């Protein structure tokens, strides 16, 4: 039998690297990490595959995964503690609240990994690359900081390019087929839980890298 929801909830709640709807470290993240290393966010992190994968590859950078679903970040928060990774934290909250957690310029880079495409046009403001969300990212990311979007969704990929055409920004990389273009290693060879599911269904993975100006 799997671990019960209540046990997971308690474990998440008492895990000192998880901040649940509590922006208590605004302006104090460097004290928490005990270093001045750059901070990179993974938004819609789910099980935090990029957060953990990059944290192992880059011990001289700090990584914070953000998601609203506690049971998804529970396992990665547990792995972080088991592996004694000192450069990882998680925030359980709504992504449009990240400006409550960070000061302007605190964030070096942002990864958005397989966020929900919200296919109905009427829902487009809920997409994590809508103007509303980009405006929030702009408040916390440093000038010139890279934003990475990885998705299987044509809708989200094309929508993001449309939004960026109208939002002060520069697109540096635009891969419409990460695997067909042999770019997987460039993206650290990390595959998220959802990415693996999409690949099993032979879906094409897309990637955009851009800055907001
Ligand atoms: C499709 S899953 C992808 C998870 C993971 N990145 C992966 O690739 O396996 C999308 C995740 O985004 C989270 N999410 C969607 N909108 C959110 C929001 N506004 N704030 C916080 N989390 C959000 C959901 O809880 C979910 O875990």
- Tens digit of pLDDT for each residue in 49-70? 999 999 999 999 999 999 999 8
Binding site membership of 159 for ligand 1 (Cβ less than 6 Å): no
- For the chain, the domains span 5-212
What average pLDDT score do residues 109-123 get? 96
Residue pLDDT, tens place only, 130-165? 999 999 999 999 999 999 999 999 999 999 999 999
> In this structure, are residues 137 and 167 in contact, taking their beta carbons and an 8 Å threshold?
no
Rg of the chain's alpha carbons, rounded to an integer?
A: 17
pLDDT number for residue 10: 76
DSSP state letters, 157-182: HHHHHHHHHTSSEEEEEEES-TTTTT
Distances (CA, A) of 89 to 145, 146, 183: 20, 20, 28
Asked whether residue 1 carries a pLDDT value surpassing 60, the answer given is no
Distances (CA, A) of 2 to 6, 9, 89: 12, 14, 24
Asked whether residue 7 carries a pLDDT value surpassing 80, the answer given is no
pLDDT number for residue 8: 77
Q: Mean pLDDT score of the chain, rounded to an integer?
A: 95
Q: How far, in Å, CA of 173 to CA of 207, rounded? A: 8
Binding site membership of 193 for ligand 1 (Cβ less than 6 Å): yes
pLDDT number for residue 2: 62
What are residue 211's DSSP bridge partners? 170
As separate numbers, helices (DSSP H) first and strands (DSSP E) second, the chain gives 7, 8
**CATH fold label, 5-212:** Rossmann fold (3.40.50)
Residue pLDDT, tens place only, 83-100? 999 999 999 999 999 999
Question: Full-prediction pTM beyond 0.85?
Answer: yes
> In this structure, are residues 149 and 159 in contact, taking their beta carbons and an 8 Å threshold?
no
The residues, any chain, with a CB within 8 Å of residue 126's CB and separated by 6 or more, are: 116, 118
Among 18, 20, 46, 178, residue to substitute to test ligand 1 (most atoms within 8 Å of Cβ): 46
Residue pLDDT, tens place only, 117-126? 999 999 999 9
What is the token pair recorded at 57?
A: 């590859």
Asked whether residue 27 carries a pLDDT value surpassing 80, the answer given is yes
Asked whether residue 15 carries a pLDDT value surpassing 90, the answer given is no
The torsion angles phi and psi of 89, rounded to 5 degrees, stand at -145, 165
What average pLDDT score do residues 181-197 get? 98
Our answer to whether residue 166 is catalytic in this structure is no
Binding site membership of 75 for ligand 1 (Cβ less than 6 Å): no
């Amino acid at each position: 039998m799997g671990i019960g929801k209540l046990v997971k909830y308690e474990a998440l709640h008492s895990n000192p690297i998880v901040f649940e709807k509590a922006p208590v470290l605004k302006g104090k993240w460097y004290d928490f990490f005990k270093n001045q290393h750059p901070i990179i966010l993974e938004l819609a992190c789910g099980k935090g595959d990029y957060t953990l994968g990059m944290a192992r590859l880059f011990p001289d950078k700090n990584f914070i995964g953000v998601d609203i679903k506690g049971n998804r970040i529970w396992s990665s928060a547990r792995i972080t503690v088991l592996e004694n990774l000192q450069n990882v934290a998680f925030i359980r909250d709504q992504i449009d609240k990240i400006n409550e957690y960070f000061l302007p310029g605190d964030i070096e880079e942002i990864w958005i990994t397989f966020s929900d495409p919200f296919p109905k046009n009427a829902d487009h403001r809920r997409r994590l690359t809508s103007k509303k969300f980009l405006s929030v990212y702009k408040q916390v990311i440093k000038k010139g900081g890279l934003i990475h979007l990885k998705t299987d969704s044509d809708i989200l990929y094309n929508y993001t390019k449309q939004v960026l055409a109208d939002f002060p920004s520069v697109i540096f990389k635009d891969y419409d087929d990460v695997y067909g273009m042999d770019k997987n290693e460039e993206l650290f060879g990390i595959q998220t839980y959802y990415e693996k599911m999409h690949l099993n269904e032979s879906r094409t993975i897309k990637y955009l890298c851009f800055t907001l100006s």
